Structure 1
Amino acid sequence: MNEQAYASLYANTLLQDVIPFWMQHSGDASYGGYLTCLDRKGKTFDTDKFIWLQCRQVWCFSMLYNRVEQKQEWLDFALQGAEFLKKFGRDAQGNWYFSLTREGKPLVQPYNIFSDCFAAMAFGQLSQATQDKAHSEIAIHTYHNILKRQENPKGSYNKAFPGTRPLQSFALPMIMCNLILEMEHLLAPEEVDRIIQHGSRTVMDTFYQPDSGQILENVNEDGSFSDTFEGRLLNPGHALEAMWFIIDLAARTSDQPLIRKAVDISLNTLEYSWDRRYGGIFYFMDIKGHPPQALEWDQKLWWVHMETLISLLKGFLQTGDQRCWQWFEKVHDYCWTHFADPEYGEWYGYLNRRGEVLIPQKGGKWKGCFHVPRGLYQCWQTLDSIAEKSSTVTPQ
């Protein structure tokens, strides 16, 4: 297929398959918000509500309304989740819980700052759609709360003994590189620039290991390597997702060296983490080749592969590196062969190493309406840009 044919496939899958699946099956007409624990056919098998999945779905439908088409049903669906979150999502200090009962009673304390990150994303995107001051105020308050908690994100819920082996985690600076663009319309330009500069440096210098060409998931407080389970951990999906965030940031200022570095890291990560026996990208790896601590290390997960597709296409758009396009077609074929479910819609989330469906559910505690629709949208838009760019190139 050429770029335009791929673009049509991604657009049609988003708008005629994935979004209808979530609109049909996930809305909770009785209590508000969304039911995300859905089996293969979309039937609810558990009614607990996980805050970051609620937030991600608000973001998704707000984004579609803002960037694709101002469909009232999309905005109404986003508002359904936002109203539930406004009523039940936070504790008295404004921290976002991890999970709630179907009715909205707190289940799990706000130990995880990523609930806050996705809440800021959700209400930031929603505020663009509604121009409602209440939505922008929630986004801004949550953003500042993230900044206050970023040095110790889990606070009193941190299990680690203080001072023995303090580590920096890649996850928060990575997500801040994306969150800041979602919040840009609500923040002062100097604040946006500060976060972009700090996030880019942290991701590309502190956690990047030049000798191996890999991104580490955890490093010592001074940025040095920790020869431990946590320090040797590679999360290829995180690295590949972060690289398209970095490419987007670098493209704002036409920083070609930074774009090139992000593309090279993407390709290095893929070369290292691709399963040469069965295909697909390993979930976790150990940078020294030791057995990873997580027993699910060799599973193939939906979000890892979707984020990879985005990174490869953005890399190809910005650099024209043919390796990006070759890898894109390889990963695309794997995804459409193994993750897509043409019979009942959406994607499977979890495959075993051989690429067989491990869990047929379409949503759960970790998988919701986010990575697949966001990825399909990003790939569609980037493929359109690639096609447009190639049509304007004058033959030599």
Structure 2
Amino acid sequence: MLAQKSINFTAVNDWLFDQALPFWAEAGVDRVNGGFVEHLTLKAENAHAPFKRVRAQARQIYCFSQAALLGWSDGAAVADHGWDFLQRHGRREDGAWVRRLAPDGSQLDTTCDAYDMAFVLFAHAWRHKVTKDPAVEASALATLDALDRTLAHPSGLGWLAEEGDAGPRQQNPHMHLIEAAIELAETTGNERFQAFGRTIAALFGERILNRETGVLREFFAPDWSALDTPAGRIVEPGHQLEWAWILERAAPILEIDMSREADLLHAHAEKHGIAPVTGLTYDQVDVDGKVILGDHRSWPQTEALKANLAMLEGRGLDTRDRIAVCVDNLLERYLAPAPTGTWIDQLDSKLKPRVDKIPSTTLYHVQLAFTELLRLQPAIQSMDADAA
């Protein structure tokens, strides 16, 4: 019998708490204008980007809020700094949130975008987890109102990707909206957030996911039917794996059972979306499982880790070897070669870096995956001990 591949929990913990969080709390914070830096150069220096995406501000608020809850001493102050900047600059007069800010906080792109709205809601959830401030819950509810007023699709089936959107329907904003709904429902106990999440889950199960095959397309026709174009055939294994984790996370909070859908998503992505030699997740395959884009962004690797953790915890599958491969790939291929506390965001099909910057938004992906791994460390180590 082959030996169980070990998981390097110590390296994960050290990278997150001793390297990444201290680094981004310093180099990633704009102490002049407020908020967070959009991206760094490949030497991990401020690239002085001419904009700050609202989604990037919101993701960093999550990162440092969670760090505070996990006992990292500077987390609360850094999260406060980001929250203040977002509150002062990010909202429109009608209650919706903008897409891009200038470095000083003035509004560059006032478009209401569902993806950005999702992360604003996510930031509200983590702000509430730290503060338990009723005003944060009220602000999240007002944001939900603005989402419905501004982006609700005329069909009643989900939301537009952005104001005036006439293009294909997109699953990705809905994935992050339910992610935010789960966290808001958990921290506030407000039934409206639970109902919001259930609505998205139902849409996903009934319209978005192919429940026979496990195929999750990225783009759809207006009624969520298959889009007969090359774009309509795109499948991103990272999103399949991300949804699998989200559905398992949703089960106790939204009081739904979508374990069959999670199983389908995980199985399809593991069968068609994973490079056989390296265990890396591909960026894109088509609906038949053929590789379209054989590059490997960093975030699909974090979603593979999260999904396999969810399958172990929620579905009882022994995915420890896959978890170990995902951890090793992240540590060795994406984190170790980069400046301390940062990452290489994308590898090409020959495993060479395809990058020109270090985006701040990647911390959300890596931190969420690594904190999930560390949360399950006792259970995994108990399994290891029982098998010894």
Measured against the shorter chain, the TM-score band is 0.7 to 0.9
Q: Is the 8 A contact 1:117 1:143 kept in 2?
A: no
Give the 3 Å change call, closer, same or farther, for CA 197–127 of structure 1 in structure 2: closer
Structure 1 partner of 2:66: 63
Q: Is the 8 A contact 1:51 1:99 kept in 2?
A: yes
2:324 is aligned with 1:353: no
Q: Is the 8 A contact 2:42 2:357 kept in 1?
A: yes
Structure 2 partner of 1:163: none
- Cα separation, 2, equivalents of 1:116 and 1:235: 22
- Give the Å deviation of 1:199: 2.5
Structure 2 partner of 1:131: 132
- Cα separation, 1, equivalents of 2:72 and 2:46: 29
Structure 2, unmatched stretches of 5+, are 154-158
Q: Is the 8 A contact 1:98 1:112 kept in 2?
A: yes
2:39 is aligned with 1:37: yes
Structure 1 partner of 2:339: 344
Structure 2 partner of 1:121: 122
Q: Tell me the alpha carbon deviations over residues 218-238 of structure 1, each in whole angstroms, 9 at most, x when there is no partner.
A: 333444322222321212111
- Give the Å deviation of 1:189: 4.7
- Cα separation, 2, equivalents of 1:382 and 1:186: 21
Give the 3 Å change call, closer, same or farther, for CA 306–84 of structure 1 in structure 2: same
2:212 is aligned with 1:217: no
Structure 1, unmatched stretches of 5+, are 161-166
Q: Is the 8 A contact 1:233 1:286 kept in 2?
A: yes
Give the 3 Å change call, closer, same or farther, for CA 153–134 of structure 1 in structure 2: same
- Give the Å deviation of 1:28: 0.9
Q: Is the 8 A contact 1:278 1:355 kept in 2?
A: no
2:77 is aligned with 1:76: yes
Q: Is the 8 A contact 2:94 2:146 kept in 1?
A: no
Structure 2 partner of 1:327: 322
Give the 3 Å change call, closer, same or farther, for CA 224–232 of structure 1 in structure 2: same
- Give the Å deviation of 1:137: 2.9
2:160 is aligned with 1:153: yes
Q: Is the 8 A contact 1:177 1:246 kept in 2?
A: no
Q: Tell me the alpha carbon deviations over residues 199-243 of structure 1, each in whole angstroms, 9 at most, x when there is no partner.
A: 223223422224433212233344432222232121211111111
- Give the Å deviation of 1:83: 1.0
Give the 3 Å change call, closer, same or farther, for CA 5–290 of structure 1 in structure 2: closer
The share of aligned pairs that are identical, in percent, is 18
Q: How does 1:87-126 map to 2 (within 5 A)?
A: 87-126=88-127
- Cα separation, 2, equivalents of 1:100 and 1:274: 37
Give the 3 Å change call, closer, same or farther, for CA 80–190 of structure 1 in structure 2: closer
Structure 2 partner of 1:268: 268
Q: Tell me the alpha carbon deviations over residues 40-65 of structure 1, each in whole angstroms, 9 at most, x when there is no partner.
A: 33201123211100111011111221
Q: Is the 8 A contact 2:281 2:296 kept in 1?
A: yes
Q: Is the 8 A contact 1:313 1:383 kept in 2?
A: no
**Count of residues in correspondence between the two structures:** 377
- Cα separation, 1, equivalents of 2:7 and 2:236: 31
Structure 1 partner of 2:283: 283
Amino acid of the structure 2 residue aligned with 1:135: V
- Cα separation, 1, equivalents of 2:254 and 2:85: 39
After superposition, the CA RMSD in angstroms is: 2.9
- Cα separation, 2, equivalents of 1:46 and 1:371: 23
- Cα separation, 1, equivalents of 2:299 and 2:197: 24
SS of residue matched to 1:369: helix
SS of residue matched to 1:285: strand
- Cα separation, 2, equivalents of 1:105 and 1:208: 39
SS of residue matched to 2:8: helix
2:306 is aligned with 1:303: no
Report the more deviating stretch, 119-128 or 234-243: 119-128
Give the 3 Å change call, closer, same or farther, for CA 246–82 of structure 1 in structure 2: same
Structure 1 partner of 2:30: 28
TM-score (norm 2): 0.86
Amino acid of the structure 2 residue aligned with 1:359: V
Give the 3 Å change call, closer, same or farther, for CA 175–325 of structure 1 in structure 2: same
- Cα separation, 1, equivalents of 2:358 and 2:162: 32
Amino acid of the structure 2 residue aligned with 1:12: D
- Give the Å deviation of 1:192: 3.9
- Cα separation, 2, equivalents of 1:326 and 1:4: 8
Structure 1 partner of 2:156: none
- Cα separation, 2, equivalents of 1:384 and 1:9: 16
